[in-house]
Structure 1
């Protein structure tokens, strides 16, 4: 049957119920969880989502390049640059010389950034625990395994499509 001969009604027979469509459900869950955590860092510390992620990554104590930070938190170069500039202006992070490459600099938390991180980390971890409290230990472990599998599958499909 030629495409021109398809009745309009036939082309609408395949429907997509967003409430049962996995990518939509995952987006809704991600948005809800992110908003739940954001209440803490936006309300108490006036950080944006990007700033919070940078603070969390630099909270390990390791100085990182802007490029490394962007890759770790999955942000585009411009978004990373803007968030870093705001954090430098807020005195939360500082540039330090990269000893392995004198032409570039690394970023690390300032004493104020460390203070904010020390105060904020227990609060977001407590919220994470509250969110996960509806799961048993086995369910939590299964969830981690399922997420790892789905992430790997998503990456594999993307690689095949290229």
Structure 2
């Protein structure tokens, strides 16, 4: 969508608001979705924060590292929705606890490569069953058809926003 289209869309919203149209935040889809995402995130956080003393950011980095032998720090952010500073703090926290280690990329010393330590791998294997059980419990509130529809809708919206 071009800049002029965006500007026209914003102008239309302003005009509608001035015409007495109101926005009910509790029914506004973006807000409801953000709120649901936060509720789900907090429910899952009980698994890794209370039992394993990890922050949300550390858990996300741990989950990414658990799926691969190593990864460049700059690749973590887009995979976790964390910004550069959050990734850096999470990696530092994991490293301080002996869960992850960093090394310089052999071809570019400015680039840091992160991987799980053996203790980090063991922790990952320990947490995953709890995280999956929490997901199963949450999705258990839906029928199989509802889960499939939810998955399709999430993919469709994500693709539209990409």
Q: TM-score, structure 1 length as denominator?
A: 0.83
Partner Cα separation in structure 1 for residue 30 and residue 121 of structure 2 = 36
- Among 41, 61, 65, the residue aligned to 2:68: 61
4+ residue segments displaced more than 3 Å: 96-99
Q: 2:154: which partner in 1?
A: 147
Q: 1:113: which partner in 2?
A: 120
Alpha-carbon deviation of 1:105?
A: 3.5
Q: 1:6: which partner in 2?
A: none
Conservation of the 8 A alpha-carbon contact between 1:61 and 1:109: no
Q: 2:22: which partner in 1?
A: 15
SS in 2 for 1:43: helix
Alpha-carbon deviation of 1:154?
A: 2.2
Alpha-carbon deviation of 1:12?
A: 6.5
Q: Does structure 1 residue 24 correspond to structure 2 residue 31? A: yes
CA deviation vs aligned residue, 1:106-151 (integer Å, no higher than 9, x gap)? 1110111111111100001000000000212221111111011111
Partner Cα separation in structure 2 for residue 72 and residue 20 of structure 1 = 29
Q: 2:140: which partner in 1?
A: 133
Alpha-carbon deviation of 1:19?
A: 1.6
SS in 1 for 2:141: coil
Partner Cα separation in structure 2 for residue 150 and residue 120 of structure 1 = 29
Conservation of the 8 A alpha-carbon contact between 1:59 and 1:117: yes
Q: 2:6: which partner in 1?
A: none
Conservation of the 8 A alpha-carbon contact between 1:92 and 1:110: yes
CA deviation vs aligned residue, 1:55-87 (integer Å, no higher than 9, x gap)? 000001320011011221121111111111111
Provide the aligned C-alpha RMSD in A: 1.6
Gaps of 5+ in 2: 1-16
Number of aligned residues: 145
Q: TM-score, structure 2 length as denominator?
A: 0.83
CA deviation vs aligned residue, 1:76-108 (integer Å, no higher than 9, x gap)? 111111111111101110124535x25244111
Which residues in structure 2 correspond to 1:23-62 (within 5 Å)? 23-62=30-69
